[in-house]
Amino acid sequence: MGADTKAEVKASEISQEELRDRCIQLVFGGNEQLFQEFCDVLRKELPTGTGAVIRGSAVTGVRWDDGAPFDADGQGTSDVDLTLIGGEVHSFYILDGYFVPGIHSKPLSDKDPDIAPQLIPLREKLQQMVKRPVNIQATRDFVMYIRENLFNQPYLTLIEKAEDA
């Protein structure tokens, strides 16, 4: 795809299996064991009941703004957009770490490296595993519903959120 063409991958048009396979190839270099270890670290480190998904080019294969392929700027240059879903995880973010306080955070990233101090060790561990930036955002399940169903943004579910979390 050229730089003038925006990629449109609609959530309803791609299965979780396809997203998983693409993510394993792009982010984990085809290493399914590393993918499982990544998920295991999340299960161990996150509050019980917290869901986790990967969004963005790590699952679509292309950047949303210009349609460039994942890692178009070289190996390890594309990031992983990890979104955590649930209530308790919001306590990890400082007030300035939000777009909408208590609802939808900014990503913990190189741009905002101090907005979720409790998540910094997790972010560092995940980045070591995948040898690329990992951005960690917190949101509520209704925001994910809107992103998927109104904005057609696909995501790969790594950990299902507990209904009461």
Residues forming beta bridges with residue 82, ordered by sequence position: 54, 136
- How far apart CA 128 and CA 107 sit, in angstroms, is 18
Residues forming beta bridges with residue 135, ordered by sequence position: 81
In a domain, 1, yes or no: no
- How far apart CA 146 and CA 103 sit, in angstroms, is 13
Q: Beta 80-85 vs 134-139: how paired, if at all?
A: parallel
3-state SS assignment for residue 76: coil
In a domain, 6, yes or no: no
In a domain, 32, yes or no: yes
Residue 110: domain span: 11-159
In a domain, 93, yes or no: yes
Q: Which residues of the chain have pLDDT under 70?
A: 1-12, 145-146, 148-151, 163-165
In a domain, 109, yes or no: yes
In a domain, 164, yes or no: no
Supply φ then ψ for residue 94, to 5 degrees.
Answer: -80, 160
Hey, what are 82's tokens? 């990890």
Please tell me the predicted confidence (pLDDT) of residue 58. Answer: 97
In a domain, 116, yes or no: yes
- How far apart CA 139 and CA 127 sit, in angstroms, is 21
In a domain, 4, yes or no: no
Express each pLDDT in 73-119 by its tens digit: 999 999 999 999 999 999 999 999 999 999 999 999 999 999 999 99
Looking at the structure of the chain, the number of domains it has is 1
Supply φ then ψ for residue 135, to 5 degrees.
Answer: -105, 135
pTM, entire model:
0.89
- How far apart CA 129 and CA 28 sit, in angstroms, is 9
